[in-house]
Amino acid sequence: MSNPFDVIVIGSGPAGYVCAIRCAQLGLTTAVVEQNVNEQAQPLLGGTCLNVGCIPSKALLDSSHRYAEAAGHLSDHGIGVDGVSLDVAGMMARKDKIVSQLTGGVSGLLKANGVSVITGSAVLLAGRQVEVTDASGEKSIHTAGNIVLAAGSEPAAIPPAPVDGDRIVDSTGALCFEAVPERLGVIGAGVIGLELGSVWARLGANVITLEAMDQFLPNMDEQIATESAKIFAKQGLDIRLGARVTDVAVSSDAVSVTYTQNDSSETVEFDRLIVAVGRTPRTEKLFAADSGVTVDERGFVFVNDYCATEAPGVWAVGDIVRGPMLAHKGSEEGVMVAERIHGKAAQLNYDVIPSIIYTHPEVAAVGKTEQDLKAEGVDYKVGSFPFAAIGRAMASGETDGMVKILSDADSDQILGAHVVGPSAADLVQQIVIAIEMAASTEDLQLMVFGHPTMSEAVHEAALAVDGRAIHMVNRAKR
């Protein structure tokens, strides 16, 4: 048995490595265990987010958007471009370079903060012991005063469409196509399915997305979801709701997908099929039966409001616990846990965690939706403002979408904000800060917003809550 650490973190994704760095900053001797390795047998740090999730997908989203602009939209600006060509291999190389730089950066940060990196597959045993099995099969036992589980998640599977890594791929495989498929199917119209579908549609694929649910983006504000669906349809994304996949057949050159919709059955052929039906927590082999850690029926670890498990000194953060599977949520949970281990009364406000879809335009939200407030019986006010009336948006040719703000009818405190449009992720973050500071819409009304900026849509939406928007005709307030 090795010398004990103060903290051992299992997993080096955003939740794990951030937790480890904060622990080290607080003077705790810390180790991170990572099972994935690169071609040189070095630990592959950064988890799903940096390696096969957030970062590579955003790199391809940006590259594909630039290609689409050059190939079809610059003429609106009086710019003529002839002979635009697509280099998929070059695009993938750029993505891989960015991933390498960021994962290398994580390695450097861990080293600079004195965090030990242990390579191998970890299992939590009783008594805060961690058994690590390396690539050769050799086992070692490590102990610590506190253990933080941050094992992350993996793509969910569905029986009718087993991933074969060739014709049928998951979100990881969809980031590595060597050529643009002419006919691309996507199962799932959630965040992952929309982003990946957008990438390949911009590059020329004919994309059909099959979504089993009857409602588009059900967790989003209904008005924003409806507006988003209109924008995506205008872009040519064929999203079929209530389409339940029942059978998939793979031949030498195609994938045939059979689905039911409105009590009828239809079969469509694709060159490639992406299964993007969500993710599942990676907890199946994470701990021994006597470790004291328990999970629910879906495999999520039971934790309290501060991410403590039922086992003393054992914590769990990120995708393996309740709440949205978001890198920024996991990172902040990692910080909270590190500080609580150190004795600080840290906590995390789960009501102000933003959600973002990096399509173009982006879709972003924080706080309550209008349907939430109706269901809770809250008397509320609402204000919205279209980007079509924002000078900066018109100058940029980015006029689709709107900003929507919800506030309490009595106190005027901001309860939620929802945006579809240019820079939606950054605009929602402004309102995240406002909600965290218990601001009212009047506070936003009184602030000076630069002109011309996209942020003026936030200002105008706040004014619209009270029927005071300047650059549109206001609707009568109830």
pLDDT value of residue 72: 84
pLDDT value of residue 445: 97
Print the SS3 string covering the chain.
CCCCEEEEEECCCHHHHHHHHHHHHCCCCEEEEECCECCCCCECCCHHHHHHCHHHHHHHHHHHHHHHHHHHCHHHHCCCCCCCCCCHHHHHHHHHHHHHHHHHHHHHHHHHCCCEEEECEEEEECCCEEEEECCCCCEEEEEEEEEEECCCEEECCCCCCCCCCCCEECCCHHHCCCCCCCEEEEECCCHHHHHHHHHHHHCCCEEEEEECCCCCCCCCCHHHHHHHHHHHHHCCCEEEECCEEEEEEECCCCEEEEEEECCEEEEEEECEEEECCCEEECCCCCECCCCCCCECCCCCECCCCCCECCCCCEEECHHHCCCCCCHHHHHHHHHHHHHHHCCCCCCCCHHHCCEEECCCCEEEEEECCHHHHHHHCCCEEEEEEEHHHCHHHHHHCCCCCEEEEEEECCCCEEEEEEEEECCHHHHHHHHHHHHHCCCEHHHHHHCCCCCCCCCHHHHHHHHHHCCCCCCCCCCCCC
pLDDT value of residue 76: 87
Q: Where in the chain is the domain with CATH 3.50.50.60?
A: 5-154+280-348, 168-277
Q: Does domain 353-465 have CATH number 3.40.50.740?
A: no
Asked whether the predicted pLDDT for residue 478 surpasses 80, the reply is no
Asked whether the predicted pLDDT for residue 1 surpasses 60, the reply is no
User: Cα separations (Å) of 69 from 66, 78, 91, 362, 381?
Assistant: 5, 13, 15, 16, 38
Q: Which has more pLDDT, 38 or 229?
A: 229
Provide the CB-side half-sphere exposure for 293 (13 A, CA).
Answer: 31
Q: Taking all residues of the chain, what is their mean pLDDT, rounded to a whole number?
A: 96
pLDDT value of residue 476: 61
> pLDDT by residue (tens digit) across 455-470?
999 999 999 999 999 9
> pLDDT by residue (tens digit) across 5-42?
999 999 999 999 999 999 999 999 999 999 998 888 88
> pLDDT by residue (tens digit) across 180-228?
999 999 999 999 999 999 999 999 999 999 999 999 999 999 999 999 9
Tokens of 81: 């471009």
Residues labelled as active-site residues: 451
Instruction: State if pTM tops 0.85.
Output: yes
Side by side, which strands form the sheet with 206-211?
A: 168-169, 272-275, 183-187, 206-211, 238-241
Find the largest Cα–Cα distance for the chain: 72
pLDDT value of residue 73: 83
The set of residues, in sequence order, having a beta carbon less than 8 Å from that of 203 and lying 6+ positions away, is 64, 67, 68, 86, 88, 180
Q: What kind of fold does domain 168-277 have according to CATH?
A: FAD/NAD(P)-binding domain (3.50.50)
Contact assessment for residue 256 and residue 249, using Cβ atoms and an 8 Å cutoff: yes
What percent of the chain shows pLDDT beyond 70?
99
Q: What kind of fold does domain 5-154+280-348 have according to CATH?
A: FAD/NAD(P)-binding domain (3.50.50)
Asked whether the predicted pLDDT for residue 327 surpasses 60, the reply is yes
Q: Where in the chain is the domain with CATH 3.30.390.30?
A: 353-465
> pLDDT by residue (tens digit) across 122-171?
999 999 999 999 999 999 999 999 999 999 999 999 999 999 999 999 99
Average pLDDT over residues 365-393: 98
